[in-house]
Amino acid sequence: MAELRALVAVKRVIDYAVKIRVKPDKTGVVTDGVKHSMNPFCEIAVEEAVRLKEKKLVKEVIAVSCGPAQCQETIRTALAMGADRGIHVEVPPAEAERLGPLQVAQVLAKLAEKEKVDLVLLGKQAIDDDCNQTGQMTAGFLDWPQGTFASQVTLEGDKLKVEREIDGGLETLRLKLPAVVTTDLRLNEPRYATLPNIMKAKKKKIEVIKPGDLGVDLTSKLSVISVEDPPQRTAGVKVETTEDLVAKLKEIGRI
Amino acid sequence: MQAARIAPSLGRQLLRLGGGSSRPTALLGQPRPGPARRPYAGGAAQESKSFAVAMFKGQLTTDQVFPYPSVLNQEQTEFLKELVEPVSRFFEEVNDPAKNDTLEMVEETTLQGLKELGAFGLQVPSELGGVGLCNTQYARLVEIVGMHDLAVGITLGAHQSIGFKGILLFGTKAQKEKYLPKLASGETLAAFCLTEPSSGSDAASIRTSAVPSPCGKYYTLNGSKLWISNGGLADIFTVFAKTPVTDPATGAVKEKITAFVVERGFGGVTHGPPEKKMGIKASNTAEVFFDGVRVPSENVLGEVGSGFKVAMHILNNGRFGMAAALAGTMRGIITKAVDYATNRIQFGEKIHNFGLIQEKLARMVMLQYVTESMAYMVSANMDQGSTDFQIEAAISKIFGSEAAWKVTDECIQIMGGMGFMKEPGVERVLRDLRIFRIFEGTNDILRLFVALQGCMDKGKELSGLGSALKNPFGNAGLLLGEAGKQLRRRAGLGSGLSLSGIVHPELSRSGELAVQALEQFATVVEAKLIKHKKGIVNEQFLLQRLADGAIDLYAMVVVLSRASRSLSEGHHTAQHEKMLCDTWCIEAAARIREGMAALQSDPRQHELYRNFKSISKALVERGGVVTSNPLGF
């Protein structure tokens, strides 16, 4: 039916179940030997793309990830879920730590144009930095419409109807393709990669390119000063009456 | 002579267990051995590389045990890592073991999910629709299943580890292409049908019969099988039945066992209701009846008359999987025990600070470490192409099943009353574990097998020596070598064996303990064989104790190997593993020393055996406990 092509961006993050520990030098968190997996919202994005492909609305799904060599594991997971091929934008480990939404968005924008895709899908945010910026910036660079926090996506000809979860409730937008969509929790439940699909994914191609090949400069204007644990929760204080409560709150300067 | 008058067929059968699988046969596509093996006559005979076989002879054959084998190449390792995640997630998020246990069946959605996951054809080649895993990769995945749900583990294992393993090992190309694809996808399930109401451990006594038709095109199968896992679900059955076999030389007709691939669709195959069990309730166990079933001759598996060998090969081939699964079970249970001990406060302290709890936890993890080390060593040896691993596989099954029971039982003890309650799920695991000491070869039978099979080579060596003594001039070298060794060992001077240079220097003390234990063990083996000769087959009290020594010895070597590798490779857990290894070796060496000393020189051993026998006889005559209680009524 449609000849649409989709680009799905996936990020390799520390697994959600892992207990995060801050490095003693406070430059970041411990990542060595720690379990990593695909960002849960990215999984939802891949799932949505694959479902569109199964409904024959999308012809090809390309999975892309920016970062060091291990990103290929994450791309493989996307391939095992049903993506057709992968692109690994290789960034050496030291530089990868300084990759932020601005840099990734530039890469995605360039790739979207190069691969001539009609739809760019991403998770709404990554569970490590919680930035919630990459999708929006990508749309900005491409000058494409965006539907963020999508909880439902429906293709209508050359338009995309996106239902968004916002603070006040649900908002429905109609976007002209090409467009950028970021996925929210309730959009779908991602499938489990099956062992036969993992085997088939071994045969799918992952192209490795450098950011320079896309003409993207990764220098960041941000630098991390320190990373620290949140302060330990101190015990609360019990009070007897409302008057006591007000007095206490005044005492500690809260009101 | 205290030989119990047990059917000599038991001993013979146990020796046949070995005779069948230790020699590579044409059935497995392996070259036949060279000229007839005469012990040490010319030295052209194929020497076994098995550590266990050698230890019975007082030799250190380290090929299969040092260094700890690493058989996966990079591609296999990366592929395996990709598989671990989805399988773990499935068992954490989709499978509900408590629900399965209550329903007494695996939930339909879970079963379907497992099929889609590809879990039903893990070792089927990918060309035929499976995942094509080698044994080591299979062990890793089975570890995950064992950690979460043993009943599902049995459903999967009864299907692929034994149910259709015969087709993988012995099937013709046509049989493989016909049956494996649907078995791999889980569209059809398989079951292994050996046990009958009157034939459990005595597998050779089965009565199910397969009579060849006059035209030779089919067999007619009649009989009933008992306690068949997946019996009510399977469409493909590996069935063992007695068939008449004519000896080409003498023309005599004997009833020998043949293995068949039987389809439910052949007609005449029915099954009974699911059995109510103590554990693995979600696994379907049922009687299967064969009533005039016509089985095409093309469905003979392996050769006519070689069914017993086929059965033993299949069971032998799948044993490492059990040890791997149980290592996973123990890992999960230990996590629960530690979690409880680190949170429970009594007498003003977390209970993990108390010595009694500390010892329990330490013992639990040693048992887990040994089991896991055995499982992955056996699977690696199999992947390396070794064909002589049957004693080690049997040891790993015995050890793993008993270790898992002790670990889970102790976890309940640590948890106190909480452990006894349904909700934490530990009691379910204990109930699930009980069968592991019974099926796939009871631990008692396997102990006899370990001892007898181990003694067999040694026995041949001794009889070789015996005949050499008759012709001393022709066999001087043989005598000098053997006599020297035996003399030194009997004088307690050690046989010059050493593990130095093989184990890591930090483990040298434990290595010495292992070598001493091996010498003590071999000395007793030799002495008992000289004393009893072939009659040793009936000395079950002795054989059990020899087997226990063998198990402890193999366990020592396995952990020495694994800990050595960790130290050499600088793993961050290496020092902890050194502690596990040293602790295990101290106690195992002591058990072997005391056990062998008792067997060798304790005059009261015979009194013990006589008493066991008499007490048992009295109970049998009385039909129960002989004494009434102290009150007299």
Supply the CATH number for residue A119's domain: 3.40.50.620
Structure-block tokens of residue A212: 């320079």
B372 is catalytic: no
Check residue A196 and give its pLDDT: 87
A144 lies in some domain: yes
A252 lies in some domain: no
Query: Do the Cβ atoms of B131 and A202 come within 8 Å?
Result: no
Please report the ipTM that was assigned to this predicted complex: 0.74
- Beta-carbon contacts of A250 under 8 Å, excluding residues fewer than 6 positions away, are none
A181 lies in some domain: yes
For residues B277 and B282, give the distance between their C-alpha atoms in angstroms, rounded to a whole number. 9
A45 lies in some domain: yes
With pLDDT > 70 as the criterion, what percentage of chain A qualifies? 99
Tell me which of B143, B372, B402, B440 is the catalytic residue: B440
A212 lies in some domain: yes
State yes or no: pLDDT of A10 exceeds 50: yes
Mean pLDDT of B291-310: 96
A250 lies in some domain: no
pLDDT digits (tens, 9 = 90+) for B478-537: 555 555 566 656 555 556 678 888 899 999 999 999 999 999 999 999 999 988 888 899
A247 lies in some domain: no
In chain B, which residue's Cα lies nearest the Cα of A199? B131
For residues B506 and B539, give the distance between their C-alpha atoms in angstroms, rounded to a whole number. 40
Weakest-pLDDT range from A176-180, B27-31, B302-306: B27-31
pLDDT digits (tens, 9 = 90+) for B84-131: 989 999 999 999 999 999 999 999 999 999 999 999 999 999 999 999
For residues B159 and B318, give the distance between their C-alpha atoms in angstroms, rounded to a whole number. 11
pLDDT digits (tens, 9 = 90+) for B236-260: 999 999 999 988 888 889 999 999 9
The domain containing residue A23 runs over which residues? 4-228
pLDDT digits (tens, 9 = 90+) for A86-133: 999 999 988 888 899 999 999 999 999 999 999 999 999 999 999 999
Query: Do the Cβ atoms of A76 and B82 come within 8 Å?
Result: yes
Taking CB atoms and an 8 Å cutoff, what residues of chain B touch A202?
79
Cross-chain CB nearest to B83 (options A37, A73, A195)? A195
pLDDT digits (tens, 9 = 90+) for B579-628: 999 999 999 999 999 999 999 888 888 899 999 999 999 999 999 999 99
Q: Compute φ and ψ for A174, nearest 5 degrees.
A: -115, 125
**Residue A154 annotated in ligand binding:** no
Mean pLDDT of B321-339: 97
In chain A, which residue's Cα lies nearest the Cα of B128? A196
**Smallest CA–CA separation between A37 and chain B, in Å?**
9
State yes or no: pLDDT of B65 exceeds 80: yes
Q: B190: which strand partners? A: B236
Check residue B149 and give its pLDDT: 97
**Smallest CA–CA separation between B184 and chain A, in Å?**
10
Which pLDDT band holds residue B460 (cuts at 50, 70, 90)? confident
Of residues A248 and B282, more confidence is placed in B282
- Beta-carbon contacts of A221 under 8 Å, excluding residues fewer than 6 positions away, are none
**Smallest CA–CA separation between B94 and chain A, in Å?**
10
Kindly report whether the peptide bond that precedes residue A178 is cis, defined as omega within 30 degrees of 0: yes
Interface check A12 vs B, CB under 8 A: no
> What is the domain count for chain A?
1
For residues B474 and B49, give the distance between their C-alpha atoms in angstroms, rounded to a whole number. 28
Mean pLDDT of B162-166: 96
State yes or no: pLDDT of B17 exceeds 80: no
Cross-chain CB nearest to A198 (options B83, B89, B90)? B83
> Which domains are seen in chain B, by residue range?
61-185 (1.10.540.10), 190-304 (2.40.110.10), 310-444 (1.20.140.10), 486-619 (1.20.140.10)
Query: Do the Cβ atoms of A198 and B79 come within 8 Å?
Result: yes
Structure-block tokens of residue A34: 């720690």
Cross-chain CB nearest to B116 (options A73, A80, A194)? A194
- Beta-carbon contacts of B262 under 8 Å, excluding residues fewer than 6 positions away, are B193, B221, B236, B237, B238, B239, B269, B290, B293, B295, B299
Query: Do the Cβ atoms of B86 and A198 come within 8 Å?
Result: yes
In chain B, which residue's Cα lies nearest the Cα of A80? B82
